[in-house]
Structure 1
Amino acid sequence: MEVPESYPRGVPISIKYPEMPVYEFLRNSARKFPDRDAVIYLDATHSYATLWEQIECFAANLTGMGIKKGDRVALLLPNTPQFILAYNAVLLCGATVVALNPLQSVEEIERQTTVTDSKLLIILDRLLEKLPDKHPELIIAEAAYYVPSRLRALSRVKYRIKRPTGSHRFEDLITGTKLTGYPEINPTEDVAVILFTSGTTGQPKGVMLTHYSQVANALQSYHWLRGWGYSSKPQPAGYPVILCAIPFFHSYGLVVMNEAVSFGCTLALIPNPTAEDIIKVTEKHQVTHFPLIPRLIREVVEHPQVEKHDLTSLTTCSSGGAHIPVPLMKQFEKLCGARMYQGYGLTESGPTVAATPVEGDPVYESTGLPYPDTEVKIMDLQLGEIELKAGEKGEIIVRGPQLMKGYLDDPETTSKVMKEGWLYTGDIGYRDPRGYLYIIGRKNERIVAAGHTVWPTLVEEVLAGHSDVVHAVAFGVPDPLRCNTDIRAIVVPREGVDRASLEKKLLALCRDHLEEYEIPTKIIFRDSLPLTLLGKVDRKKVIEEIDAMIERLIQGEDIPEEYR
């Protein structure tokens, strides 16, 4: 494997990954650091030894309920201690975790538990309104069980939740006899977790990730972040304290959890993240690492009280899931003195395949260099068979030990995106001469305007780079009279900004940074746009709305002037 000169020091090019179940990370940390705080949850702390003992008991009870190797158990849980316990206990039984997103519709939750043939559903009591009529056998976890006793008592008075008949109490299943004789796991073949894609390009697909892929990606992330043990600042606890605000049911949040547990870090859990909670938890518990998304980073930086809090315990902050403007990264670094770095990946790739180094001169615009044992190529957009040179734009394909096994019950789609060990991501990008990767959009988002290819992401990045823009989305609108396609953009401005003045500034900004055919012919202002879980504009929903407007216009119906 070619090693670029810019590869970060102390990070191995290749790693010998142990072929072991994912739960060995927590089991090992419980042996090494039994009394260390594994989690902080609403100011209550729970040690590694305590968690592992409860995991063994929970696994024994799951086995007693008939869960066996190869079964699937669905989790409908936010970032609470119960997720960590349930995740590891299910794996300890030899079963597969199906991680569900509570923000989905009840109908989609029912579909996912059905297509995965989940034998059990472990759900938080505060999420029972998301319970489908048709559901597997239930285990219900009390949201306040792991919080300080005073808060737990108040919660039980405030929330008198009626549990469905025949359901089991999570808290009754974490004591008693421990599991003995763990089922044998084949790490390279056995699926540890099924995660569903966001569905931005169609119905959410189940992505199967093996124990080996999850172990590999956690260790790749560990070595990338820790390198030779580098830390730019003292760590107050003597080891990392990781903010866990990204949901564990998302691939980004899950790799954060696995990597943190593998190193015996303390996980500061935030089940419903707000800027205020993030700031307070960071200061109180001296958090050292921030894995966040651009939306949350912006909300922290712009919080009116942020200057009154001390965030200087932070050493690093990773951003993923969406484009982050360079000025925002620099603002964050100035605020807390932490190093910002970006990562790139997708659910199908385990998820992370590249990141920018945490040492040396920052390359803010890039999503980084490939992880250890990870290969990245840029292929032509016509056949996908010709590897392109540095600077040439094409489809990003990746290969590495962290990739998915395939899509659930969909070998045909799997074969279209997995070819000879390479994952065809559908993302468009390029690499510079140093090997750094840059993302410019999705293959299916390509717009042809004035005979040229326009990637809407490039337009959006320019617009979002203005300090008065919160969100931006670009799209094409066909003009049948001119046989052409116009580029349009929808922008969510900051509150109180003069929109007429902002439009002039944005068009001037576009003229300075874009080609003539990439400049929007019209900018539409809206108070809000639909967002995905990771804070990106939900392009699918926006385009569906625009397409409906275009169809109405073609049919001669009246539509708002700004969409004409």
Structure 2
Amino acid sequence: MRIFEVHKKSGVSDSHIAIKFKGRVYTYGEVDALIDKYASYFQSIGVKKGDRVALSFPNCPEYIFSFMGASKAGAIVVPLNMMLTLEEIGYIIMESGTSVLVVHPAIAQKVDKSQLARLNLKNVVIMDENTVNEILKMKSPAPVDIESGEVCAFLYTSGTTGKPKGAMLTHDNFVSDVKMLYDVSRVIDLGPNDNFLTVLPLFHSFSWTVNVLLGLYLGSTITLKETFMPKDTLETLIQEDITVFCGVPSMFAVLMRMAEKGQFKALRLAISGGAPLAAEVQRGFEEKFNFPLVEGYGLSEAAPVALLNPLDPKALRKPGSIGFPLPGVEAKIVDENDNELPVGEIGELVLKGPNVMVGYHNMPEETAKTLRNGWLHTGDLAKKDEDGYFYIVDRLKDMIITGGFNVYPREIEEVLLTHPAVLEAAVVGVGDPLKGEEIKAFIVLKEGAEADRRELQSFLKDKIASYKIPKYFEFVKELPKTPTGKVNKKLLKQM
């Protein structure tokens, strides 16, 4: 099965509602027809099998149709994080070999056309009303021979070198993850009567796989929102008979404070991912609303879900745990020599399964290091208890997860070091009850130089995405070092 076929599996009628967005309703029959029309449109502008098509959209149905349509035309889709700067997007476009960029009109208005012209794109499509009307006139696309094992998308994830890595995911990777989630969901009979509220950005693999692909595979309804707005989300959860809500921990913390007991009459499942879920948030949420808040674990390289707590309300869910591997996924804890560790010992979490990527685009050394001995090395430190539940303990690398987004300190440090007043910079994550972590920068200024928090934040504004800009700055005379001369970030986190 290819991803543009997942909506056909459920067998629901063509008149069943697939997507709701701003008062507009799309049935399963319309979705099927629109995927064909978008595929035909991409073919009409010269997209051929293997071409890269990048998408930059807020949440909207056109993103789904563009992704599915481009895939059906044989393209490899490159979802773009809307929060990246044009410089960061430019790197991804060039590295991926993207030839067609499809953008929402709201984003197109903010784009510097002269910079865009330097990206060697064959075509830039503004998905405005005129383009949509043109697409609606399209006929059936020419058939393209696409094997399920072929690459479907490049999902770019931040790298420790400061440059994003393009995880190459096949149709099989995505569909396998969906099928495994479907098998797990059978215990609570998710299906056509369910309504998934989607506020997480669709460019995020968690949202794309769990909300869109799984939702369509089940024959459910997907209620789309452009973004997470606490009051609007609360009202939608109550008024739209939402039954499934996927979010990051900070969203559940906010909703727990805002909502009253008994307000979520239809909601029966909440899934948290993207960052560690605080045990007190999970306990408080479940006690207040009397339905499960289930934590899982995933990463882009695994399409993304790999482990999940039981969905059955009667089953044991251990606060702080990421649960069990999905059926079909293998997980174990290993030491630095890749030897499996016994119960309770901390080591690196490694994974194996049909959802694991085929590698990183144009990065054979990174691929060999990450897909070592047939296992995906996650870079996360974890442990397993005597009941088989897994727990994330820390990260091998210094990655910060803030509000569900992965941030690598070195990328920020390298930009800070280009400021004329900065001699040394070290970035760490500090605990935050809403976002999981906030970003803090320790700065050593050059002798006689001056700079403050506002100046450095302003300096970073056009160079990195807003969510990567440190909230806190501490100016110090020197950074603590290890005997080998490396910055001791463990000590920094304690300062």
Match of 1:259 in 2: 214
Instruction: Say if 1:246 and 1:253, in contact at 8 Å, map to a contact too.
Output: yes
Unaligned runs of 5+ in 2: 403-427, 435-452, 458-465, 482-492
- SS of 2:116's partner is coil
Does the C-alpha gap of structure 1 residues 550 and 183 become closer, same or farther in structure 2, counting only changes over 3 Å?
farther
Match of 2:125 in 1: 139
Equivalent-residue separation in structure 1 for 2:305 and 2:34 (angstroms) = 30
Match of 2:300 in 1: 347
1:170 paired to 2:124: no
Instruction: Say if 1:201 and 1:540, in contact at 8 Å, map to a contact too.
Output: no
Does the C-alpha gap of structure 1 residues 334 and 553 become closer, same or farther in structure 2, counting only changes over 3 Å?
closer
Instruction: Say if 1:260 and 1:266, in contact at 8 Å, map to a contact too.
Output: yes
Instruction: Say if 1:55 and 1:174, in contact at 8 Å, map to a contact too.
Output: no
- Runs of 4+ residues over 4 Å off in structure 1: 488-494, 538-546
After TM superposition, give the deviation of residue 170 of structure 1 in Å: 3.4
Match of 1:99 in 2: 79
Match of 2:170 in 1: 210
Equivalent-residue separation in structure 1 for 2:254 and 2:342 (angstroms) = 38
Match of 1:469 in 2: none
- Tell me which of 350, 359, 365 is aligned to 1:406: 359
Does the C-alpha gap of structure 1 residues 115 and 363 become closer, same or farther in structure 2, counting only changes over 3 Å?
same
Match of 2:195 in 1: 241
Match of 1:465 in 2: none
Unaligned runs of 5+ in 1: 1-19, 146-167, 447-455, 461-487, 495-525, 531-537, 555-561
List per-residue Cα deviations over 1:238-292 (Å, max 9, x = no partner): 6110011111111111111111111111001111211112111111210001110
Instruction: Say if 2:317 and 2:323, in contact at 8 Å, map to a contact too.
Output: no
After TM superposition, give the deviation of residue 424 of structure 1 in Å: 0.8
Match of 2:16 in 1: 36
Equivalent-residue separation in structure 1 for 2:161 and 2:271 (angstroms) = 26
Instruction: Say if 1:312 and 1:338, in contact at 8 Å, map to a contact too.
Output: no
Corresponding letter in the other structure for 1:23: F
After TM superposition, give the deviation of residue 539 of structure 1 in Å: 11
List per-residue Cα deviations over 1:49-87 (Å, max 9, x = no partner): 112212211211211211111111010012200011001
Match of 2:411 in 1: none
- SS of 2:20's partner is strand
What is the count of residue pairs matched by the alignment? 423
Corresponding letter in the other structure for 2:29: A
Instruction: Say if 1:274 and 1:296, in contact at 8 Å, map to a contact too.
Output: no
- Tell me which of 185, 190, 209 is aligned to 1:225: 185
Match of 1:502 in 2: none
Equivalent-residue separation in structure 1 for 2:378 and 2:432 (angstroms) = 29
- Tell me which of 255, 269, 272 is aligned to 1:316: 269
List per-residue Cα deviations over 1:25-46 (Å, max 9, x = no partner): 12445x6321111111123211
Instruction: Say if 1:102 and 1:130, in contact at 8 Å, map to a contact too.
Output: no
Equivalent-residue separation in structure 1 for 2:219 and 2:433 (angstroms) = 42
Match of 1:48 in 2: 28
- Tell me which of 80, 85, 91 is aligned to 2:65: 85
1:197 paired to 2:157: yes
Does the C-alpha gap of structure 1 residues 32 and 491 become closer, same or farther in structure 2, counting only changes over 3 Å?
closer
Equivalent-residue separation in structure 1 for 2:26 and 2:376 (angstroms) = 39
Does the C-alpha gap of structure 1 residues 138 and 230 become closer, same or farther in structure 2, counting only changes over 3 Å?
same
Corresponding letter in the other structure for 1:258: L
Does the C-alpha gap of structure 1 residues 539 and 378 become closer, same or farther in structure 2, counting only changes over 3 Å?
farther
Instruction: Say if 1:428 and 1:439, in contact at 8 Å, map to a contact too.
Output: yes
1:275 paired to 2:230: yes
Equivalent-residue separation in structure 2 for 1:489 and 1:210 (angstroms) = 33
Does the C-alpha gap of structure 1 residues 540 and 389 become closer, same or farther in structure 2, counting only changes over 3 Å?
farther
Structure of larger gyration radius: 1
CA root-mean-square deviation: 3.1
Query: What is the percentage of aligned positions where both structures have the same residue?
Result: 28
Match of 1:8 in 2: none
Corresponding letter in the other structure for 2:196: I
Report the TM-score, using the length of structure 2 for normalisation.
Answer: 0.79
Match of 1:295 in 2: 250
